[in-house]
Amino acid sequence: MRSNAARRKSTAEWVTLSLSLLVVGALIVVALVEESHRQEGDAGGLQVTFDTERVARRGDSFYVPYRVLNTGSEAISSAEIWIEVFDGERVVQSAEINVQFLPLQGRQNGIFVTTHDPESHALRSRIESLQFP
Amino acid sequence: MLVEPREASTRPRLGREWSDEFDDAVRGLASGFLIGIPVVFTVDSWWLGDQNEPLDSLTLLAAAYALTLAAVYWIGFRRGLRRGWQYLGDAIEALALAVLALVAVFWVLGQIGDGQAPSIAVGRIAVAIAPVSLGVAIANHLLARDASRVDPDQGDASAMRDSRHLGHRRRALFEFAASAAGALFMCLTIVPLDDLSAITTEVPFRNLPLVILLSLLVTYSVVFAAGFAGEADRHRTPGPLQTPFAETVVAYVAALIVCLTVLWLFGRIDQESTAMEVYTKTVLLAFPASMAAAAGRLAV
């Protein structure tokens, strides 16, 4: 009798086990969903966006916030990106930024400093190279 | 041969099912924090998790389950003797507790749920889960019930000290010193590596109050809330510094003092450091150090 009681789980134990299965199961489901998203995408997808609404002017310089987003299917260990400032079709300024450790859907925020007013100039980015882990 | 823990009744204990469950869970969590926090508090493990692909994370999760199952079989975190398939369930519960602990830590540090992708959360949890779940699984060994001051071994330093009937002031001093020693042990493993600078950069300043709250909560759990060594004795002991709240705060303050000292000794802060830099580094370092400080108090 005592032995049978010892083997039987109490309600509290059943609830704990059920919640535990739920937690671990949720982690596995999230990993599988992320894996399916990853397989749908291409390696090496990188998106650079400039937030020209939040430009700050300090003296002769304009501080332009930007965001680099890894939209590809692999983590990126290093990326070299050229940022170019255009006056019409003419490049008037260019600079290289280096981004380290961009996980899947990872982002890196930064500020690009230029002496050209972003309202009258166009900012464009160009991927120079990518390295994977 | 498997030996049932001393004075441990076989489950379920009638009328105490829920409190037993709660005690086991909190005790397991505290043990998991103690073992796993050095890995969790390493920024390289965060970056490794960032680069993990989801399938790699699942492999790590499976490996962590296998290790946890072995540890649960030999040691475990539950009151009473377990049998057969209950070990499988206990290992799942240890893993789930580790997941919850890591979610809490990473959320408080602003490393998940703050705009990061779900794959980052999964990767970071997968990298750090094995040491935390192993910590949960060996709670019966690491934080044994009714050990230390209540029932110390013959010849044990704390037993000999007890026989001399220390006064409240002397005992409080011993406990403060034990907290400081525990915190020092943890600080000396973290500060020389300079991970703290990277962590200081990664953790948003607005999250620091949450870090303090979680530090106090885990410290309280380790010493009082989970039926650990001497818990009943602590609740009974009179004196202004022998209340659960006061002891938790004293352990945390001891950790803060040790953190400041070690940071200064290793040149991580100096007279040119700003107050904000000192505050940030001290609070972040006190997070693992306060857990070790709480564990140190169990030794006296």
pLDDT band at B15 (very low <50, low <70, confident <90, very high): low
Q: How far apart are CA B165 and CA B147, in angstroms?
A: 18
Question: Among residues 46-75 of chain B, which lie with CB inside 8 Å of chain A?
Answer: 47, 50-55, 57-58, 61
Q: How many CB atoms lie within 10 A of CB A68?
A: 21
- pLDDT tens by residue, B46-71: 888 888 888 999 999 999 999 999 99
Judged against a pLDDT cut of 90, whether residue B103 lies above it is answered with yes
CA distance B12 to chain A (A): 6
- pLDDT tens by residue, B226-245: 555 555 555 565 555 667 77
Question: Among residues 187-246 of chain B, which lie with CB inside 8 Å of chain A?
Answer: none
| Interface probe, candidates B4, B9, B11, chain A, greatest A C-beta count within 10 A | B11
Judged against a pLDDT cut of 50, whether residue A131 lies above it is answered with yes
Question: Among residues 83-112 of chain A, which lie with CB inside 8 Å of chain B?
Answer: 101, 103-107
Look at residue A20 in the predicted model and tell me its pLDDT.
93
Q: How far apart are CA B255 and CA A71, in angstroms?
A: 42
CA B154 vs CA B170, B174, B233: distances in Å: 22, 20, 19
* Percentage of chain B modeled with pLDDT above 90: 34
Mean pLDDT (whole number) for B203-212: 93
- pLDDT tens by residue, B117-132: 888 899 999 999 999 9
Q: What residues in B contact A24, CB-CB < 8 Å?
A: 61, 92, 95-96, 99
Mean pLDDT (whole number) for B214-232: 73
Q: What residues in B contact A4, CB-CB < 8 Å?
A: none
Q: How far apart are CA B136 and CA B27, in angstroms?
A: 8
Q: What is the mean pLDDT of chain A?
A: 86
Look at residue B150 in the predicted model and tell me its pLDDT.
41
pLDDT band at B141 (very low <50, low <70, confident <90, very high): confident
- pTM score, whole prediction: 0.80
The answer to whether the CB atoms of B54 and A106 lie below 8 A apart is no
- pLDDT tens by residue, A31-51: 999 888 888 777 778 889 999
Q: Which residues pair with residue A85 across a beta bridge? A: A93, A123
Supply φ then ψ for residue A47, to 5 degrees: -125, 130
Look at residue B34 in the predicted model and tell me its pLDDT.
84
Per the CB < 8 A criterion, the answer to whether B111 and B88 are in contact is no
CA B254 remoteness from chain centre: 16
Q: How far apart are CA B50 and CA A133, in angstroms?
A: 11
CA B141 vs CA B28, B33, B71: distances in Å: 11, 14, 10
Look at residue A111 in the predicted model and tell me its pLDDT.
94
The answer to whether the CB atoms of B99 and A27 lie below 8 A apart is yes
Identity at A102, one-letter amino acid code: L
pLDDT band at A67 (very low <50, low <70, confident <90, very high): very high
Look at residue B256 in the predicted model and tell me its pLDDT.
95
Look at residue B14 in the predicted model and tell me its pLDDT.
62
When mean pLDDT is compared over B114-118, B143-147, B163-167, B287-291, the highest value belongs to B287-291
Strand-strand pairing, A61-70 and A46-50: antiparallel
